[in-house]
Amino acid sequence: MSEEPPPFSGRGSPLVRLRFSPELRELLVAIVGRVHAARAAAPEELKPPALNHAVIPDPELSAAWAEGLRERENYDTDAFLGLVVNPQFGGADLPVTSSAAEAIARGSVRIRLYLRETLLRDLDTEEIDGDVDIYRLPPAEQQGYACFRLLAHLEEDLILQLDPGLAKS
């Protein structure tokens, strides 16, 4: 029986290989900057999850849980921002390490979750999946939606490079 390769067995470094216009890059940088500013101004409360609808009644656990999530998120945010502010992003292939590619993907998901909860909260699931007339959206939502789709493409491309077996399944 042949053994399936583990994730991250792609040959060579993953590449960030999106191509888009400088205008779209500026928009993305602006949106990401707004998201991070908003989150810094009103940080989320990171709690342990409900267990059978009862939150774990332990302050020590809560603190450790939140700290673990925060550390990971800070790492991912740094990796993601490092990419976005790179002047070559969108214009050239950028090699990244596997762990950086993972962090960028997670950071990107976090941005899209935030966009979904704010600018794009009025869209239903079909619309968020692509079945939307973007021109009927207000300008701010159009911009948010463009970033949402672009980042989804970035995540998909990175994941398929990290885990090439997923493309065949």
Summarize as ranges the residues that interact with another protein (CB under 8 A): 4, 6-7, 49-52, 56, 58, 60-61, 64-65, 68-69, 72-73, 102, 105-106, 109-110, 112-113, 116, 125, 128-129, 152, 155-156, 159-160, 162-163, 165-166, 169
Write the burial class of residue 54 (CB in 10 Å: 0-12 exposed, 13-18 middle, 19+ buried).
Answer: exposed
Please name every residue paired with 54 in a beta bridge, in sequence order, or none if there are none: 51
Q: In the bound complex, what is the minimum distance in angstroms from residue 109's beta carbon to another protein? A: 5
Q: In the bound complex, what is the minimum distance in angstroms from residue 69's beta carbon to another protein? A: 6
Nearer to another protein, 93 or 156 (CB): 156
Question: What sign for the dihedral angle of Cα 61, 43, 105, 12?
Answer: negative
Helix (H, G, I), strand (E, B) or coil at 15: strand
Q: In the bound complex, what is the minimum distance in angstroms from residue 1's beta carbon to another protein? A: 11
Rounded (to 5) percent helix, strand, coil in the chain: 60, 5, 35
List the Cα angle 121/126/127 in 5-degree steps.
50
Nearer to another protein, 96 or 105 (CB): 105
Q: In the bound complex, what is the minimum distance in angstroms from residue 83's beta carbon to another protein? A: 17
Nearer to another protein, 113 or 140 (CB): 113
